[in-house]
Amino acid sequence: MCCELFTHFPQSRSASIHLASWPHYRSKNRDLVFQGSGVLAPEQPHVHWWDICDNPHLFVGGISSHDLHQGKLGNCWFVAACSCLALQECLWKKVIPEAKKQDWDSRKPEKYAGIFHFRFWNFGDWTDVVIDDRLPTINGELIFCHSNVPNEFWSALLEKAYAKLAGCYEALDGGNTADAITDFTGAVSESIDLRKGNYGKVLLEQTKLFEDLLKAHNRGGLISCSILPDIANERLGTTEQGLVKGHAYSVTAIRKLRLGEQLLAFFKAEKLFMIRMRNPWGRREWNGPWSDSSEEWQRVSEAERKNLGLSVTDDGEFWMAFGDWCNSFTDVDICRNLNTSIFSIHKTWEKAMVRGAWLHDEDPLANRAGGCLNNRATFLQNPQYVFNINKEEDKVLISLQQRDQRPYRKDGRGDNYIIGFEIFRVELNREYRLHQLQVQERVVGSTYVDSRTVFLRTVLKKGRYIIIPTLFQPGDVSEFILRLFTDVPSELRELKLDKPEPGCASFLCGYPQRVTQLSIHSVEGLNRHGGPRNANLYLIIKCGKERVLSSVQKECMDAVFDTKVIFYRKNIKDPIVVQVWNKKLLCDRFVGQVTVVGEPSDSRELRTLQLRDKGAPDAPPVTGQLSLKVVSTDDLTEL
């Protein structure tokens, strides 16, 4: 069943079998047995080793997306990812390090050891995978991924190394192109449903998507697409235009195409949005408008056709108009290598990454497997992570990735869990875990899908937030990594404590007896006769030795703050003071304040209090009112 790729030296024959899909190795006969892999029937006779070719190489004439073709394994998603990888030299050199040194050199045969070294981004770390040079064959032909050049083997060896990482070849039967690209690059993957976005009908949205894909592609992003079958038995069915359903295609180019002769096209600025794809089978192309030999290409100059590399052979690569692409495909995966370098002309992202786990425990305070938001009684038992948005408004990218489940397929498991996350805006000084949903504001959440990675792009206002990653079902356990990208550092960290812990100083300074949350809604009625029409208002909220500053509301006299703070109070007799200040160029001006006692028996409804001058709670009143809600409790794990 298996052939040896390089058999020039005895040491290559003695190399051990590393791949888990070949668990049984008979040293006497040098046979391999596929045990329950489902790839090759176990009853097939064992075949001895023999050479595939006389002059094998990793690469022949360089690396290209045309080098590889899918074999007798349902891993078109992997082959499509390899096609994308081949487009970026800086990326594939990470996966196949020192390729030239690893290759067979007939001038220095003594340096060849019969092993190959690959690297994959495996759950947040670059992992080395070493394999021998044996590849599975039938009748001297490679069974799985292969090149269109008989003596080129980089794709077959890369596939074997990736199968070892996943557990076996069978684990590669069915998958997601974005997962493979992430494993090749460490990129952040974003999945877009073209039907939900209505990109095929709304021209404005279609144009925005094209520009986004073009920017991602030009900056080294890798893109793939597919057509979701309407019903399960339509998988691998073909559309009238020749596209295969349930099949992954790699995007190899995105261009704005000039129509007509070059000079005329330049002045008329007549352009067409175009996208090029490759079928991993190396054949079966789109036969609609702009297919290889369609009449539409007559509208394009000969020079432009040559520039596009148009080929009329059935090599699996073809162009489409972007509008046809939006109407034909249902899903697209964009894998971006987000720029985190400060030495760049492009946008630089601040990256934060944490590792976590959903772990089940009977103790509610120790349980970290609470399930999705549908399970309101247990939801807040999940891991919680706090982060800050330090700009007035910031674009945020969030990627939640669960541990790869494919290595467990041989144990009868291996399916992805349904995962997702929720984001809540919390108090500006929150340092302990949330315990009640009713007093928090849910801002946004991801979709919940049985995918290895869930992605969200959103815009958040200045403040403090908590993100809660979850499995859909409570009690399920797994590991995850959470990546957060912002414009300025977010200080992402896990909230592990439920309340302040007693320390040595507690005997001297006391331990909190009460927790109070203030939600300050607005300030109004400040406009005085003859005074300034506008002010730059902000709040200082004080309790004991702790003080919290709100953001500044510029050029207003009636300001909406929607600011929350929380205090764990050691001396419940100390009141909470909320001061309103006007930010000035040289010296800020005090406007007024309110004093709150914060008793558990106080009303939790929104109330309006008169602003007063500095001093005691009964200090003289000043113009203006402050609206707020106060929630207090002596149970430190209630809020």
Same domain, 65 and 161: yes
Which two tokens mark 300?
A: 């394009």
Residue 232 pLDDT: 60
Which of these is catalytic: 146, 247, 337, 543? 247
Residue 506 lies in a domain: no
Same domain, 195 and 153: no
Task: Confirm if 499 and 636 have CB atoms less than 8 A apart.
Answer: yes
Same domain, 179 and 196: no
CATH number at residue 517: 2.60.40.150
Residue 275 lies in a domain: yes
CATH number at residue 444: 2.60.120.380
Task: Confirm if 330 and 244 have CB atoms less than 8 A apart.
Answer: no
Same domain, 519 and 566: yes
Task: Confirm if 428 and 564 have CB atoms less than 8 A apart.
Answer: yes
Please count the structural domains in the chain.
Answer: 4
Residue 380 pLDDT: 96
Which of these is catalytic: 279, 337, 382, 388? 279
Same domain, 134 and 240: no
Same domain, 260 and 173: no
Question: What does pTM read for this prediction?
Answer: 0.86
Which two tokens mark 243?
A: 């596209």
Same domain, 288 and 393: no
Residue 344 lies in a domain: no
Exposed / middle / buried, residue 196 (Cβ in 10 Å: 0-12, 13-18, 19+): exposed
Which of these is catalytic: 3, 57, 69, 76? 76
Q: How far is CA 222 from the centre of its chain?
A: 13
Residue 18 pLDDT: 31
Of 163, 185, 207, which marks where a domain is finished?
Answer: 185
Residue 579 lies in a domain: yes
Residue 451 lies in a domain: yes
Residue 155 lies in a domain: yes
Active site residue 69: no
Same domain, 432 and 516: no
* Three-class HEC string of 382-444: CCCEEEEEEEEEEEEEEEEEECCCHHHHHHCCCCCCCEEEEEEEECCCCCCCCCCCCCCEEEE
Same domain, 167 and 222: no
Which two tokens mark 457?
A: 């792009």
Residue 174 pLDDT: 87
Same domain, 49 and 89: yes
Same domain, 179 and 206: no
CA distance 459 to 391: 11
CATH number at residue 324: 3.90.70.10
Same domain, 87 and 195: no
Residue 413 pLDDT: 77
Residue 470 lies in a domain: yes
Residue 127 pLDDT: 95
CA distance 310 to 33: 44
Active site residue 279: yes
Of 272, 305, 336, which marks where a domain is finished?
Answer: 336
Residue 502 lies in a domain: no
Residue 494 pLDDT: 97
567 membership: H or E segment, kind and range: strand 559-569
Task: Confirm if 30 and 18 have CB atoms less than 8 A apart.
Answer: no
pLDDT < 70 stretches in the chain: 1-51, 231-236, 260-270, 311-314, 343-344, 503-509, 528-532
Residue 14 pLDDT: 25
Task: Confirm if 308 and 257 have CB atoms less than 8 A apart.
Answer: yes
What is the residue range of 616's domain?
A: 512-633
Of 158, 185, 212, which marks where a domain is finished?
Answer: 185
263 membership: H or E segment, kind and range: helix 262-268
Residue ranges of E strands in 407-558: 419-426, 441-445, 453-471, 478-486, 493-494, 514-524, 535-543, 546-549, 553-556
Active site residue 76: yes
